[in-house]
A = this chain, B = another copy of it.
Amino acid sequence: MLITSGPDPDTTAKTGYARGRVKRRQILEAATAVFADVGFNGASLREIAARAGISHPGLLHHFPTKPALLEAVLKHRDEVDTTAFDADIARGVSKFEALLLLAERNQQRRPLVELFMAVGAEATSPAHPAHEYFVNRYEQAVSFFREWFESEELRAGLQPEDAARHMVALMDGLQVQWLMSLGGPPEREVDMAACLRSYLHLVLPA
């Protein structure tokens, strides 16, 4: 359904023995870090396997191909993120605040942000194994914001569609700036959440 459509390409599902499940999680974490550093094309299965404390055919035992591994990483992160967001909403937090919470959480998980940046940028090429995944992701994100803004009082003259595009673009773009700022002095670190908030206050005069 996502990239390949095999019956159940080894994800974090509770199949197999306990030891295997643990290893699979370690592999996913290592893969996240390596994909984040050098992108999908630049990553090597041996490097990922070494970080997970396993041989590279051992890795391929759990995730049969490199694209399958990428798919599992992306799927896993989506699950974690959406459940956290939904939990915030269920707790009665507004969409506005739930969004900022998401940005703040991301600010503490640098490898994840780097992963989506690096792989997402590669995936603009239609031949990339995660291309469709990212196209869908963007469509969903824009729709989410458009629907939200359609039910709010926007600053005069601003279309919900445009505001939605702005939001998605800002989240992406600010993440790059934040990552780039991490090498420098800490006081010059970009504050993504604050920057997002100032845009929302600009758009929603409420």
Contact = CB atoms under 8 A, between A and B. Distances in A.
B202 A158 contact: yes
Interface stretch (A68-76, A86-94, A99-107, A131-139): A131-139
A23 B199 CA distance: 47
A158 B205 CA distance: 12
**Copies of chain A in the complex:** 2
Interface string A167-187: 011111110110111111000
A190 interface: yes
A115 B135 CA distance: 19
A162 interface: yes
A130 to B, nearest CB: 11
B125 A158 contact: no
Interface residues on A, range: 35 or more
A100 B11 CA distance: 45
Given A134-B180, A135-B183, A135-B184, A199 B121 contact: no
Interface stretch (A13-21, A33-41, A54-62): A33-41
Nearest to A162: B198
A126 interface: yes
A7 interface: no
Contact of A121 (B159, B165, B176): B176
Contacts of A40: 42
A32 B39 CA distance: 18
Contact of A138 (B155, B170, B180): B180
11 contacts: A37-B125, A38-B125, A39-B42, A120-B176, A121-B121, A121-B122, A135-B183, A135-B184, A162-B198, A169-B174, A170-B170
Report the 10 A-B pairs with minimum CB-CB distance, sorted nearest first. A41-B42, A169-B173, A121-B121, A124-B179, A172-B173, A173-B173, A117-B121, A162-B198, A118-B121, A169-B174
